[in-house]
Structure formats: structure tokens, C-alpha cells
Amino acid sequence: MSNRLQGRTALVTGSTSNIGRGVAEALAAEGAHVVVSGRDAGRGAEVVDGIRAAGGRADLVVADLDGSSAVSRDLAERATQAVGGRLDILVNNAGIYPSDTTLTVTDEKFDLVYGVNVKAAYFLTQAVVPAMIAAGGGTIINLGSWNARLGLPVGSLYASTKGAIETLTRAWSAEFGPQGVRVNAISPGVIRPDGYEPDGVDVGAGMMRGTPAGGSGSPEHIARAAVYLASDDAEFVHGTVLEVDGGRSNVAVIA
């Protein structure tokens, strides 16, 4: 363990698996007291147990973020109680990905995806920022996506929510940065879930063909970026979207 985040507290939404889990584990390994949160209590308990076994500090707060301000406020309150004070770091990671095309999205699906991917982060940020400002500072890290800037024939609804999150990152940076709260985002590329490589095959390699990386990334790649943005190493970084995507958004490797 290192200590770049020693003495700080963090809430990571959607941290019972994949990217969120990797971020929670990495923040804890750097000394932060992490609140793991998600819908699945069993998977959340596994994450917490793993962090504690490695010598870190973690607590589980189960929450099903539906986009309502009440649920977001309740999570903020319970997470704050779990760490015995205020939250220094908020990672808005929770999200859902429907692969629908525009012509197949229903009213209910539209509202659900915007509720989880945008409204939950919006109202959670609204709930935790006042205490950060009162304490003299804090850090918010949002999770965007390469889909927000590279058009694809499916997933338009998801892409639009990530575009909204990345826009909110800049707006919140302008709104809260002068009061000591740094706001940034990470835009992951194609990330393979831990352990999800049937027969050793990189199932996301096709979407990364033609990029400098040439294959999918892992949750650990995103976690390292989150540690950087949460730490004092990034004290002069405001309102940026850090692309950790293997070059997917900006580079084409021509053979």
C-alpha cells in the first residue's frame, strides 16, 4: 500500500464489479477509507472483504440509484455516516448500457438510462458538494465514455448520457472549482471485465482494432487514472476528460 490518499474518504458508486470495483480497490490501496456501493449486497461484501484483507479500510452501503434526488441524498447521508464525517472524493461510476438502436428505445428505457447514468450523478453531486466546500475542498470524478465522441450505429441513448456527464464535468468545474472542489472525468475505452475472457480470447478486440493499444483495457487501467485525479498530483487539473481508451477516440493506426 501507498499513502497518496491517506486520511481521505471516498464514495464509489457502482463499485461491486468491473471498473467501479477496480477504482474502489485502488483508492483503498492508496490509503483512502472507501465506501463501496451498488445494488448487489453479496458482491459488495466481497469487495469490502477483499479491501480489508489487503489492509485497507472499506464499508458497504447498498443503494439502487434510480435517478431520484431522494435516493441520491440517502446514499450521500449513509456514506457520510459510514466514514464518520464528510466525503472527500466522489466517483460517479454507476451506469447501465442498453445496446438498443434509436428506433427500439421505449419511453421507459429512456427514462431509466437517464435516471441511472445522469440524474443519479447529478443529485449525488448536489448532495455531497456543500460539505466539501465547507471543509475547504474535495474531488469529484465522473465516468464518461469514448462512445460520447465516436459515433456508433447502436447505443445512441447511452452515448448521449455520457456526453451529458462529460458536459456536466466542465460545468461543475466552473461552478465548484473556485470553491475548492476539483471536478474531472475519465473516458474509458473498451474495458474487459475482470475474468471475462472466454478461452483466453479478448472479446473486445474487434472494437479496438486499428488503435495504438490494439486490444481491450482492464479495470486497473481506469483505476490508476482515478487515483491520479483524486490525489494531489492532479491539483492543477480542472474540468478535463482524461481519455484512457487505448487511443480509440483520437488515433487510427494505418497498416
- Lateral strand order in the sheet of 33-38: 57-62, 33-38, 9-12, 89-92, 138-143, 181-188, 241-244
End-to-end Cα separation, the chain, in angstroms: 42
Per-residue burial over 81-102, b if 16 or more Cβ lie within 10 Å, else e, is ebbeeebbbbbbbbbeebebee
Q: Cell 486497473 maps to which residue?
A: 220
Q: What are phi and psi of 187, to 5 degrees?
A: -110, 100
Contact, 51 vs 57, CB < 8 A?
A: yes
SS3 183: strand
Catalytic site residue 158?
Answer: yes
- Whole-Å CA distances, 96 to 55, 70, 82, 127: 31, 20, 26, 22
**Who contacts 12 (Cβ-Cβ below 8 Å, separation ≥6)?**
20, 23, 24, 27, 34, 35, 36, 37, 91, 93
The single residue of 114, 158, 196, 228 carrying the catalytic annotation is 158
For β-strands 138-143 and 33-38, DSSP reports them as: unpaired
Residues recognised as catalytic: 158
